[in-house]
């Protein structure tokens, strides 16, 4: 790929000017606030998820000989919520800098849900799987579960099929957050 807007020869033999693209769009940030303790919210949340943090998705991908086998492998690893954890980052290291607030960032999703968007717009892969944060809010004395609404993240593509699929993801994510916190956004 050309850098800095330089010209690059395209496969047809002509010259093509490559440009960087920037778009602005609005993202809806949701937070579910609860009086439940941090540990309880984390426990309930994690119990509703499956996990492929152990490299399980790669194992499923490599061993599946068909789409049906891949789907069966994915379903065997999803939790009751339909989601699985891809990554958990515990920000407890902030205690070394004097912070007593606890927080964990999760990357969660499901390849079968992601497919409903990626088959219409591969660039949607920037925002699936999704990230969310469970954290203690010292000012309010609450625990919060925060995420950016998937359909708002996908709005940048201006693709009705991607948006429709992302809205289904919104509902699943909101249900999981309400289950973990006992609170609506």
pLDDT bucket at 1, cuts 50 / 70 / 90: very low
- The CATH classification number of 28-181 equals 3.30.310.70
Determine the Cα–Cα distance for residues 82 and 117; give it in Å rounded to an integer: 16
pLDDT at 2: 45
Q: What is the pLDDT of residue 6?
A: 53
Mean pLDDT of 90-111: 93
Model confidence at 39: pLDDT above 70: yes
pLDDT surpasses 80 at 134: yes
- pLDDT for the residue 120: 97
* Mean pLDDT computed over 136-150: 95
**Residues 64-95 pLDDT 10s:** 999 999 999 999 999 999 999 999 999 999 98
Contact (CB, 8 A) for 134 and 145: yes
Closest CA to 173 of 83, 74, 51: 83
How many residues are listed for the chain in this entry? 185
Output the pLDDT for position 23: 87
CA angle 158, 16, 154 (to 5 degrees): 15
Q: Where are the domains of the chain?
A: 28-181
End-to-end CA separation in angstroms for the chain: 42
């Amino acid at each position: 790929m050309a850098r800095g807007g330089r010209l690059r020869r395209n496969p047809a033999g002509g010259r093509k000017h490559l440009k960087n693209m920037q778009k602005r769009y609005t993202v809806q940030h949701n937070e579910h606030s609860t009086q439940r303790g941090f540990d309880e919210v984390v426990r309930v949340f994690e119990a509703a998820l499956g996990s492929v943090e152990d490299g399980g998705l790669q194992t499923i991908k490599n061993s599946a000989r068909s789409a049906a086998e891949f789907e069966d492998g994915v379903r065997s690893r999803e939790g009751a919520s339909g989601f699985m954890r891809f990554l958990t980052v515990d920000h407890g290291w902030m205690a070394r800098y004097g912070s007593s607030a606890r927080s964990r960032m999760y990357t969660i999703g499901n390849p079968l849900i992601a497919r409903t968007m990626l088959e219409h717009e591969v660039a949607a892969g920037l925002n699936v799987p999704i990230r969310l944060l469970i954290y203690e809010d010292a000012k309010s004395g609450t625990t919060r579960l925060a995420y950016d609404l998937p359909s708002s993240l996908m709005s940048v593509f201006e693709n009705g099929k991607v948006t429709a699929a992302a809205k289904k993801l919104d509902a699943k994510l909101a249900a999981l957050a309400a289950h973990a916190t006992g609170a609506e956004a």
